[in-house]
Amino acid sequence: MSRIPFVDVALAALVFALLLVQPATAQVPVEIATAEQRALAERFQAAGTLEADRAVTVGPEVAGRVAAVAFPDGSAVSENQVLFRLDDAFARTQLAEAEASLSADEAALRRATQLAGRQVGTERAVEEARAALETTRARVQSARVQLDKTVIRAPFEGRVDFRRVDIGAYVTPGQPLVGLVDIDPLKLRFKIAERFAAAVKPGDEVSFTVQAYPGEVLQGKVTVVSPVVDVNGRSITVQASVANPDERLKPGMFADVTLTLVRRGNAIVIPEQAVVPQGGRDLVFKVVDGKASPVPVKLGMRQEGIVEVVEGLVPGDTVVTAGQMKLQPGAPVAPRQSGSAS
């Protein structure tokens, strides 16, 4: 039986020991970045619809034949501007009859009062004449109201659409004659998730785009946050006001809405590739004195390429962004700057 020389055994042991020690002492090449402090905002995107601030369908309160149309289709109108006139011949006749009766009843009351003053008439006759006069006054007022209703006016300033009747048409109470909308300002309505309910309030600014003006970002301001959660979609309706002085925007337009929900002026951010999920928690390898040390972190908002660190790091900390899979706690690293958190 041959023997292995003692020197060969010792040499083999030394080589094995060096192989074991080498990984612990060799620097691991990694890429690094610096934790930065910056303003950060969380944005929510939603689909919205533009609506008229006020919209009504104008119709008559009395029946009659259309005698005049006082506006061109699609025109801007002012408050109380005349839109239609109905044939008022019958209403004028009713008013004239009532006014004639009023004059007669006023004379009758004067006679009854004079007779009562000379002890010829009775107080009852005076009261009856006064009651008849009040009834006739009411008839006159009613006739005037009926005559006034033959003139159909705009209830507010806005823009009319297409008229639905022409001169000579017979119309009935409530029949649609023309639509009227007030489109400056417009209302922008959209829905947000229930979890953002506390983050939105009146006065918040929103931005949006519409297909009619691609690339143009438009602005609005939140006016109403619904107090009710839609149980079907677990969402809340938000309404914003949008100035529209040149009437470029139209009710019914679809809008891509962006709303800034959370703002932080001093958020700590790192590149998202620095985060290593492990065992249900998030870690980063922090470089201190040339060695990598795993540090648990609590994350906040995320944006494209970066993530907020709420706990675990301070501004200026150096973290590994590439090469983490080769690292062990306390391993020396050969860092190469990969950039900041931008």
Cβ atoms of 294 and 322 within 8 Å: the answer is no
Q: pLDDT of 79-117, one tens digit each?
A: 999 999 999 999 999 999 999 999 998 998 888 888 888
Residues 234 and 200 in one domain: yes
Residues 269 and 329 in one domain: yes
Residue 322 lies in a domain: yes
Residues 203 and 215 in one domain: yes
Residues 324 and 299 in one domain: yes
- The pLDDT assigned to 269 comes to 92
Task: Name the helix (H) or strand (E) containing 21.
Answer: helix 6-25
Residues 212 and 260 in one domain: yes
Q: In the predicted model, is pLDDT for residue 177 greater than 80?
A: yes
The whole domain housing 78 covers 60-84+155-176
- The pLDDT assigned to 89 comes to 95
- The pLDDT assigned to 263 comes to 73
Burial of 250 (C-beta count, 10 Å sphere; 0-12/13-18/19+): middle
**Total domains present in the chain:** 4
User: Residue 142 and residue 102: Cα distance in Å, rounded?
Assistant: 13
Residues 312 and 171 in one domain: no
Q: In which order are the strands placed within the sheet that holds 82-86?
A: 151-153, 82-86, 64-69, 170-171
Burial of 289 (C-beta count, 10 Å sphere; 0-12/13-18/19+): exposed
Q: In the predicted model, is pLDDT for residue 1 greater than 50?
A: no
Domain termination residue (choose one: 210, 239, 264): 264
Please give the share of the chain, as a percent, with pLDDT higher than 90. Answer: 65
Mean pLDDT, rounded, for 172-201: 93
User: Residue 237 and residue 164: Cα distance in Å, rounded?
Assistant: 34
Residues 68 and 114 in one domain: no
Residue 4 lies in a domain: no
Domain termination residue (choose one: 242, 264, 286): 264
CATH number at residue 133: 1.10.287
Domain termination residue (choose one: 220, 242, 264): 264
Residues 140 and 248 in one domain: no
Token output for 162? 């297409």
Residues 140 and 189 in one domain: no
Mean pLDDT, rounded, for 325-332: 88
Mean pLDDT, rounded, for 266-270: 90
